[in-house]
Structure 1
Amino acid sequence: MSSFFNRFSWKYMSLKRVFHINLRSHQYRQLNSGSGFQNCTQEGVKDVETEESNKFVPFLERINLRRSESKRSILVQVQSAESYKELYTCCSTVGTVKNMFHYTTGVEPMHFILVEFTKESDVLNILSTSSYSDESQAVPTQSQFLWFKASNRKLGKLKQNKSFKLSIQNGTEIIAESEVRDKLRQCRTVSDQMNVLYDITKLNDVGTRLRYLIARQIESMVSGMFPYASVYPFGSSVNGYGKMGCDLDLVLRLMDKKQNDSRLIFHSKATSGSDRSINQRYVEAIGDQIYLFLPGCSQVRRILQARIPIIKYHHQLTDVECDLSMTNMSGVYMSDFLYIMGELDDRVKPLIFTIRKWAKEVGLTNMSPGRWMTNFSLTLLVLAFLQKPPNSQPVLPSLNALVKLAGPDDKYVTADGIDCSFLRNLNKYNTRTKNRETLESLLTEFFEYYSQFDFASKAISLNEAVTLTKPEFSAMYIINPLERGLNVSKNVSLEEVERFRQEARNAAWMLQSQEKKIPNWGLLSVFENRAKMDFKLNFAINAKHSRLMNVKTLFDKEEEVVFKNEEIKQEIREIKKETRQNIKEIQGNMKRQNTRR
């Protein structure tokens, strides 16, 4: 029955494509080129990315630029946004202020100003002149997180610089869902909607700066015993696919310096036990320090039995959820790969943002871990699709194509011996895609492709940009591009895979059957809650029989669908009529078989 409906559904959708194709523009519009979404972009100062103009900045180079930025910054709690004038005067007596960013957090709310200086030595001078709280119970910890007490007479006499202005105010404010929808309604095309969604929800410069400052706080904490320790952010905060309010993943390396051939060697404490048990003890000890000493860190949990032991905590001063692990850099190198994929073509990030938003709206992803798909799995599904779209030219290369182009500077191997070598500098990559499909076309093709994908027997590989036979049973099998023995989607259940296919089919149907005449057109119709969609598939599962479809939900309940052509409308009527008759015959045959039993 399920395969029968698939044939019916795609007979309709193929027919729709014939009549709809002439309305699509197959000329790819570059991001930010003459459309109505330009006014929806986030305001603020130019970050590392825009300062580099059109030149590609390699991932690890960008990481180091941001880390340098964090070493030249402090975060100060203030009374209000207007406090920046006095704060600027105070800081200018010690160093040279380059930028000041304001944001709020909490219900009250609490006001903060992120101050960036021109030199790292300015921050050291600020910290050396700062004082500790008078409270006897306060732990006298020195960090780049401070608060600005009420002014006194001496400070009041200092001349204020009226020409200096805040670089941004309310820098971490997340746009309301109602405002997102209003902006999407104002767009002209689905492609414009996708670009607007990306522009107004992506992680901005202030959010990025705060996350690197959190990483810097951990570095400073351990720098006494481990002066060459480094903390690297990875995941959505740095790979280009992060949205406002996203979590922060961190990895701590206690030794991040190449050894020299000096004859003088430091005495060190010998360790005993397996690498895993040692790592667990280290993570537990670091967790204790965060819990006891670091300001702004609360709800500290040590997850020691996970495959990779981590510390989870909430950073109250920045309102960011953090996950800290140790030693393994594979997450950083994976972020590097995803970052490169996003930089290769301007359509990649808006498409991924749209798919993630759709998955959240229809209930395919969940904040809690479990049987659901994750944003990471969805991202890899999008990239795999773009490597080999069924109806157009490839948009992205395979990972192996980048591996073949890797040079000596691209050689990276993790502590576990995982080879993570691939071309990292796209300035050396000369191949450009011939694909000129619009974002709308790619979105529809994505939904069509995965609604028919054989998840039962096929695995998805980004290494060769092909589908492979599953090496082992799993409802969905996405090969980890770097750690090839791992299945990224091992947690996903059969039920969720089937729901993913159904929702993809529904989304493709909605994109092809509606025009802009209705208020919630385009992406808004795709984002409609799954429970409100009338043509949702309902299955009654019986142990003795195959799955039966509730056809009534497909045909008996009328739905306002705007057809773009009367001929299509008539064709759909005929398909429905023929389908009802075929289903009646199938049901009659099943009843007769049951009677014979």
Structure 2
Amino acid sequence: MADSGLGDVESLPRGGFRCRLCHVAVANKPSLDDHLRGKKHQRLENLRTVRQAQELRSVFVSGFRKGTPASELSDYFQAYGEVANVVMDKDKGVYAIVELQNETVLEKVLAQPQHSLGGQKLRVKPREKKDFKYTPPRKQGSARQGQLSPEKLAQKLCQADNVDAQMSLMVQLFEFSESERRLRDLLVTLFQEVFLEFFPGSAVLPFGSSVNGFAVSGCDLDLFLDLEKTKNFQASAKRPSGPQAEDGASVEQDSCSEDSILSDIDLASATVPEVLELVAAVMRKCVPGVHNVQAVLTARRPVVKFWHKESGLRGDISINNKLAICNTRFLQLCTEMDERVRPLVYVVRYWAKQQALAGNPFGGGPLLNNYALTLLVLFFLQTRTPPILPTVAHLKELSVEEERTVVDGWDCSFPKDSARLEPSGNKEDLCSLLSEFFRAFEDYDFAGCVISLWEGRPLPLPSFLSSSEAGSKLKLGPFNLQDPFEQSHNVAANVNEKTALRFQRCCCNAAKYCRSLQYQRKSSKGKIWGLVRLFQPGATEASVAENFVIGLPLTMAVPPAQAHELLGQARDFHLLWFQKVCASVAFVLRDVLKCSCVEVGQGLGEEQEVSEVKQEEEELEAKTQQLSVGSKRPLDEGGSNVSLPAKRLRVDDLLPGEESMTWNCAVWHRVWLGRRRIRRQLQGPESETQHQKANSLDLEAKVSEAISQQKCEARPTDPLFQFTVCAQASRGGTSCEQDTRISLRFSTDPEQASVFQEFFHFLQGFLPRMVEQHLVRKA
């Protein structure tokens, strides 16, 4: 028995042994000797030796900019000797393991007291020594075993001839294999047979990714249990027996009803939670191989979740989701109308997932889901010139009488056969379409309009709220994407301001990358190209300073009912609205967050303390009241301009899109840390929710004051950092007919970018919310 193997062996009771390296238990010494001489143990021993040798000549590197490619790190350390390999942190992109050729090169690297790359100080230290661990392979039955790792996907994509081939390959690599498709069909059949025993006439219908044309290996199995025929059966079985009893029909129904679970529940009067609990009980007791059955009754569409152990599939069953069946058939129709739809959706979904923009977290979250991303791609294809896909309204016009469908009051009519539809005259290739997708959404006013697949265009928010019946029910937010049929449902209602902003920023960075030759052409030197770099987390990120932008929509300043009419007085109203929002921004920075804030004169070389903004607010409020709905702003010859400080731009000299205001600010304390704990201390255990909401501005100001006084009574000599914020208004953008956003662009010294980035991430959610509350208070 080799000595090298003895350290891996532990004794077990009754004379057995266990190999720690291979996670294998044997009954006796001869079996142990056979195992230690076997191929598996020898292979793992060799692998461990190689890994340990790599650790001895590797360094851990951090401190570089996020998105720095491995090639730059390799080129930097080449100055000290040969670099064998560079392994980047794929999840966050904040560290790397650099493997050097030998320990001599390692000593040279560690002897250097300071390393820097691209103006960033690098932290370089010996790689941490870890015990070698062997991870056993997953069971063959696992549905997720076949998923590709990012590294293997990159290898396969780099072998393609062009971007179009890469995108088509994405579909082949991620869609169901024939065996997985058969497995899902068998599982649906199993559920159908079981439920028919308990709910006569019921039907189990799959929907979602499993059948809509955008399947990904290992995705959840979504099922709809249709109980309409079961309800009719139960109702007919309860009617008094009549002449039909003579031929035995009623007797047969009565006997079936007694044998089924329907004798314990009335489906017509039972609530959705009651029926789902019954469905869950049937699954626990009667469906072979199903585990972890749980009824989730608090979801928007209550479901019963489950896990099928043998196949490894997870899924859910719903009973009140007929609209999902219509959506699934609609997506199927879109894939049949044009072959470019599927590759584009697969690529955009995977890109969004790699950039941490999308996912389906349990219990919800602020990320885009796959359905929202799919609709976004379909909307983009509707807006091409000429269109690649027709609008949903046009599809309704093309439907015949037998295809007319109304579900839960929503018109879900569209042709079932794609052969009846005219093919698109658009001949753009996949490479250019993906590039144009990112360009289309890099500066999109998601908060100021509603994306409508029904009409195939963005609907300006004010006109949508005033004219659409669904407008009053649609949950508005930073990202408004209307379901094609259930038009009161915002598919992206869960997305917060931070994710919406990151989506725009990532689209902007991706659009820039797609204009480069590295995207369009295959590398002749074997470097990554095309989709591979696009998929790398943070690989196409712009510099940090370019990404500090917060958008404020018009609806923050004006009630939705008045916004549409006020937009008719665009020139006067737009300036007053811009001034009020800027005054609120200054108030939040100065009075709520306790920052020093000095307004910079525009072109006059002077500065004005922001405390004067308080006086301007009163003047602006008086002027705004004159602009009541349906009235015009009074003008006189001598005073046709708003009374503003002398350094401000005059209304008559102001052109659309020129409104701007700049402040120089300084932060003295880390007011973004520990706010929740201090807020709870100030509120007390018996505070009322409504009272807290009404005084949240005052409360947040007290929180900032408490943080400022935690470590020192007086203000420090020097601020933590300084930054400049420029407010700019824009109108008439390309993404929406009436673009009325304010963009707050922040900039800071590169040496202070690290600490400022923490502050900015806090501002992304805090500042818009506080500005809106201040505007409501002043209304």
Same fold? TM cut 0.5: yes
SS in structure 1 at match of 2:411? coil
Q: How far apart are 1:211 and its partner, in Å?
A: 1.7
SS in structure 1 at match of 2:281? helix
- Please tell me whether the aligned partners of residues 538 and 550 of structure 1 are also in contact (alpha carbons under 8 angstroms): no
Which of 256, 270, 291 aligns to 2:284? It is 291
SS in structure 1 at match of 2:197? coil
Q: Does 1:524 align with 2:532?
A: yes
- Give the residue type in structure 2 aligned to 1:506: N
Cα 1:529–1:551, aligned 2, differ >3 Å: closer, same or farther?
farther
Which of 355, 359, 372 aligns to 1:366? It is 359
Q: Give the Cα separation in 2 of the matches to 1:385 and 1:111.
A: 39
Q: Does 1:451 align with 2:462?
A: no
Q: Give the Cα separation in 2 of the matches to 1:553 and 1:433.
A: 49
- Give the residue type in structure 2 aligned to 1:294: V
Alignment correspondent of 2:404: 411
Alignment correspondent of 2:337: 344
- Give the residue type in structure 2 aligned to 1:424: K
Deviations 1:491-519 (A, max 9, x none): 11111111100000000111112424471
Alignment correspondent of 2:548: 539
- Structure with greater helix share of residues: 2
Cα 1:478–1:499, aligned 2, differ >3 Å: closer, same or farther?
same
Cα 1:469–1:179, aligned 2, differ >3 Å: closer, same or farther?
same
Alignment correspondent of 1:506: 509
SS in structure 2 at match of 1:384? helix
Cα 1:322–1:478, aligned 2, differ >3 Å: closer, same or farther?
same
Cα 1:276–1:243, aligned 2, differ >3 Å: closer, same or farther?
farther
Alignment correspondent of 1:427: 419
Q: Does 1:477 align with 2:480?
A: yes
Deviations 1:52-89 (A, max 9, x none): xxxxxxxxxxxxxxxxxxxxxxxxxxxxxxxxxxxxxx
Cα 1:328–1:385, aligned 2, differ >3 Å: closer, same or farther?
same
Q: Give the Cα separation in 1 of the matches to 2:490 and 2:156.
A: 38
- Please tell me whether the aligned partners of residues 301 and 320 of structure 2 are also in contact (alpha carbons under 8 angstroms): no
Q: Give the Cα separation in 1 of the matches to 2:329 and 2:365.
A: 26
SS in structure 2 at match of 1:298? strand
Cα 1:531–1:553, aligned 2, differ >3 Å: closer, same or farther?
farther
- Please tell me whether the aligned partners of residues 359 and 370 of structure 2 are also in contact (alpha carbons under 8 angstroms): no
Q: Give the Cα separation in 1 of the matches to 2:213 and 2:194.
A: 28
Q: Does 1:208 align with 2:181?
A: yes
TM-score (norm: length of structure 1): 0.60
- Please tell me whether the aligned partners of residues 296 and 305 of structure 2 are also in contact (alpha carbons under 8 angstroms): yes
Q: Give the Cα separation in 2 of the matches to 1:273 and 1:285.
A: 12
Query: What are structure 2's unaligned runs of at least 5 residues?
Result: 1-135, 237-242, 466-470, 551-584, 590-724, 728-743, 754-779
- Please tell me whether the aligned partners of residues 271 and 278 of structure 1 are also in contact (alpha carbons under 8 angstroms): no
- Give the residue type in structure 1 aligned to 2:410: I
Which of 348, 370, 373 aligns to 1:375? It is 370
Which of 322, 326, 336 aligns to 2:319? It is 326
SS in structure 1 at match of 2:217? coil
- Give the residue type in structure 2 aligned to 1:251: F
Cα 1:406–1:239, aligned 2, differ >3 Å: closer, same or farther?
same
- Please tell me whether the aligned partners of residues 247 and 322 of structure 1 are also in contact (alpha carbons under 8 angstroms): yes
Alignment correspondent of 2:666: none
Alignment correspondent of 1:462: 453
Cα 1:171–1:322, aligned 2, differ >3 Å: closer, same or farther?
closer
Following superposition of structure 1 onto structure 2, how do residues 215-234 of structure 1 map, counting pairs within 5 Å?
215-234=188-207
Q: How far apart are 1:186 and its partner, in Å?
A: 1.2
Which of 234, 240, 250 aligns to 2:223? It is 250
- Please tell me whether the aligned partners of residues 230 and 252 of structure 1 are also in contact (alpha carbons under 8 angstroms): yes
Deviations 1:233-285 (A, max 9, x none): 00011000111111111001134489799955545769999979622111111
Deviations 1:308-335 (A, max 9, x none): 2101111111111101101432111100
- Please tell me whether the aligned partners of residues 442 and 504 of structure 2 are also in contact (alpha carbons under 8 angstroms): yes
Deviations 1:357-388 (A, max 9, x none): 10011110134121111111111010000001
Deviations 1:126-157 (A, max 9, x none): xxxxxxxxxxxxxxxxxxxxxxxxxxxxxxxx
- Give the residue type in structure 2 aligned to 1:228: G
Q: Does 1:400 align with 2:373?
A: no
SS in structure 2 at match of 1:215? helix
Deviations 1:372-405 (A, max 9, x none): 111111110100000012xx32100111111111
Cα 1:171–1:244, aligned 2, differ >3 Å: closer, same or farther?
closer
- Please tell me whether the aligned partners of residues 231 and 268 of structure 2 are also in contact (alpha carbons under 8 angstroms): no
Greater RCO, CA 8 A, separation 6+: 1
- Give the residue type in structure 2 aligned to 1:461: S
- Give the residue type in structure 1 aligned to 2:455: E
Q: Give the Cα separation in 1 of the matches to 2:402 and 2:187.
A: 29
Cα 1:540–1:457, aligned 2, differ >3 Å: closer, same or farther?
closer
Q: Does 1:489 align with 2:492?
A: yes
- Please tell me whether the aligned partners of residues 506 and 541 of structure 2 are also in contact (alpha carbons under 8 angstroms): no
SS in structure 1 at match of 2:271? helix
- Please tell me whether the aligned partners of residues 210 and 221 of structure 2 are also in contact (alpha carbons under 8 angstroms): yes
Q: How far apart are 1:219 and its partner, in Å?
A: 1.5
Deviations 1:409-433 (A, max 9, x none): 313333x34332211111222x111
Deviations 1:195-250 (A, max 9, x none): 11111111232222222222222211122233321100000110001111111110
- Please tell me whether the aligned partners of residues 272 and 278 of structure 1 are also in contact (alpha carbons under 8 angstroms): no
Q: Which moved more, 1:539-548 or 1:491-500?
A: 539-548
Q: Give the Cα separation in 2 of the matches to 1:395 and 1:300.
A: 42
- Please tell me whether the aligned partners of residues 231 and 267 of structure 2 are also in contact (alpha carbons under 8 angstroms): no
Q: How far apart are 1:539 and its partner, in Å?
A: 2.5
- Give the residue type in structure 2 aligned to 1:241: F
Cα 1:532–1:461, aligned 2, differ >3 Å: closer, same or farther?
closer
Cα 1:535–1:189, aligned 2, differ >3 Å: closer, same or farther?
farther
Q: How far apart are 1:530 and its partner, in Å?
A: 2.0
Q: How far apart are 1:531 and its partner, in Å?
A: 7.3
Deviations 1:425-468 (A, max 9, x none): 11222x11111111011101100001121112111111111111
Q: Give the Cα separation in 1 of the matches to 2:201 and 2:498.
A: 48
Percent same amino acid at aligned positions? 30
Q: Give the Cα separation in 2 of the matches to 1:359 and 1:207.
A: 25
Following superposition of structure 1 onto structure 2, how do residues 170-319 of structure 1 map, counting pairs within 5 Å?
173-256=146-229, 263=244, 266=253, 278-319=271-312
Alignment correspondent of 1:571: none
Cα RMSD of the aligned pairs, angstroms, is 3.2
Cα 1:469–1:228, aligned 2, differ >3 Å: closer, same or farther?
same
Q: Give the Cα separation in 2 of the matches to 1:553 and 1:413.
A: 58
Q: Which moved more, 1:220-229 or 1:449-458?
A: 220-229
Q: Give the Cα separation in 2 of the matches to 1:553 and 1:460.
A: 37
Cα 1:552–1:360, aligned 2, differ >3 Å: closer, same or farther?
farther
